[in-house]
Amino acid sequence: MTSLFGRLNHFQALSFFALVVSLTFAYLSKRGLKARAQYALWAFLAFLLVAIGIGWLMYPFSQ
Amino acid sequence: MDETMDREVIKGSALLGVVAAVAGWLVPGLGHLILRRWSKAAVYFLCIGGLAFAGLAMRGGVFSFGAEDLFDRLGFFADLGAGAFYFLAHQIQSAGPDVAHATGDYGTRLFAAAGMLNLLTVLEAFDIGQGGQEK
């Protein structure tokens, strides 16, 4: 298990982080399975979208 | 299981709130388990425990008490929020931290995020234990 997490690339680590944080926020802030699932999915996709967007915005500065 | 249909109404008290909060801080989800919020307890344990374990497995840094730098001190309080994972960090992470690589740096953030998330669940457990409204 330790070596599995140690081998994660950047995007995999980001996706794992986004998934568990989205699920926790959904259970903290929403009531009902459907509302929680919708919120978790929305938050997960928002995490990925914002991270990829910021990555693209920073790309020119890495050259 | 969805708790909204069969949520047990518990008679809240200040003592129950404190016990749930301390238990939830020590082990993510344990406070909710005491309060019979089964699905929340399972999700919090798996998500926050998984995040903390991943942070340590990625050889992230763990901040210690007494750091001189302000950010390190904030990091200490964030890490401390992970409860038992903080105190067992050296056992789980036997190889020690390696923040010279990007993976180790991500691990540092993941572990701190686990601590902060756990503090949010501790506040919720305290509130439910006192008989407050919950989501």
For chain A, what are the domain ranges?
13-62
Q: Is the pLDDT of residue A40 over 60?
A: yes
pLDDT of residue B12: 79
Q: What is the mean pLDDT of residues A42-57?
A: 95
The predicted structure's pLDDT at residue B42? 97
pTM: 0.89
Which of B59, B103, B113 has its CB closest to that of A17?
B113
The mean pLDDT values, 10 residues at a time, for chain B of 135 residues are 57 91 97 95 97 93 86 92 94 84 90 97 95 76
Query: Which of B:93-122 have CB within 8 Å of A?
Result: 102-103, 106-107, 109-110, 113, 117, 120-121
Predicted confidence band at A49 (pLDDT cuts at 50, 70, 90)? very high
Least Cα separation, residue A11 to chain B (angstroms): 11
Beta-carbon separation of A20 and B39 below 8 A: no
Contacts with A4 from chain B: Cβ below 8 Å: 57
Instruction: Please tell me the predicted confidence (pLDDT) of residue B5.
Output: 46
B17-53 burial, b at 16+ Cβ within 10 Å, e below that, comes to: bebbbbbbbbbbbbbbbbbebbebbebbbebbbbbbb
